Amino acid sequence: MPFISVVIPLYNKENYISSTIENVLNQSFQDFEIVIVDDGSTDNSFAIANSFNDSRIRLLQQKNAGPSAARNKGVELSESNFIALLDADDVWKKNHLEELYNSISKFPDAALFCNAYQLKLQKNFTHNATYNLQNMHDIQLVEDYFSASIIHPLAWTSAVAFNKSDFWDLGGFDTALSLREDIDLWIKFGLYKTVVFNPAYTACYDKTVPASLSKKNIRQGKYDFLSQYEEKEKNHPGFKKFLDINRYAIAIQCKYYKDIALLKLLKKDINPSSLTFKQRLLLNCPSGIVIGLKKLHTLLIKNNIYLTAFR
């Protein structure tokens, strides 16, 4: 039995899947299997994945059912007790699996193992994700996942591994959710399971992929998603602050796109003490200023300068 199973959901990623598979095969830690679930691709993704001749690779086709169903199926078919996820357009450094192995070896009874990751903001500009932790030198048990995640979340889908039995105990990825299904799972791990953090930066999240933040239904969907945790947050101050930070992010999008009705609902739910002075200022300033600052922020990123309202 391999030590770890790498689960890759695949849907129309013909330009990425070859390098993604090679990315895994070239890892410094080699005791793994790769389980690829093609979720009804209509391009050449399946054929490219099928061209690899390596006994550690298993490839399955299914009708399109979404990334949650594909990941769940991959975990179901896996032979290992530990699962690492990798989306077909994300990138690991060569030591990614090795660092996950180090974390699991140090805390074998934990449930979720998070490696630090980078954010690709421009073609040649990456920024290290920032975590609210005092210790950024040692592999560690995380006392409060949510307090540690108020700047960037500890868990990002292509930078984690988890114990398979804990994954199923939490119900796996919720296929009823049309978005944020990954965040939903990490929240459940944070609420009910033991989380480990490894400060080694071993993965890269490509933020240059265009998002659909201008669509009102996306913002409304995010708001509805956060609202489902209202009862849980009442007795968990760290979780309340984590949710308020996420509400703040949606609220700024509402100001930018002048979605006044949803903005009012969000401001009603946010406890101002959850935010920094800069964030409170931005939340209450006119939309025109937010739009101007967003343009300035974009310009600074293009010049390899990254500023944040968290400091």
What is the pLDDT tens value at each position of the chain, 311 positions in all? Answer: 999 999 999 999 999 999 999 999 999 999 999 999 999 999 999 999 999 999 999 999 999 999 999 999 999 999 999 999 999 889 999 999 999 999 999 999 999 999 999 998 888 888 999 999 999 999 999 999 999 999 999 999 999 999 999 999 999 999 998 788 999 999 999 999 999 999 999 999 887 765 544 466 889 999 999 999 999 999 999 999 999 999 999 999 999 999 999 999 999 999 999 999 999 999 999 999 988 988 887 788 788 777 676 66
**C-alpha to C-alpha distance for 156 and 170, rounded to whole angstroms:** 17
Say how many CA atoms lie within 13 Å of 63 toward its Cβ.
0
Domain ranges for the chain: 4-206, 216-302
Which of the four CATH numbers 3.90.550.10, 3.40.50.150, 3.40.50.720, 3.40.50.2300 does domain 4-206 have? 3.90.550.10
**C-alpha to C-alpha distance for 180 and 83, rounded to whole angstroms:** 20
- CA dihedral of residues 180, 250, 156, 205 (deg, nearest 10): 110
**What does the DSSP 8-state code read for residue 107?**
S
Residues 114 and 196 sit within 8 Å (Cβ to Cβ) = yes
In angstroms, the first-to-last Cα distance of the chain is: 46
Q: Which of 294, 310, 311, 234 is nearest to 269 (CA)?
A: 234
Six-digit token string for 18: 């070859």
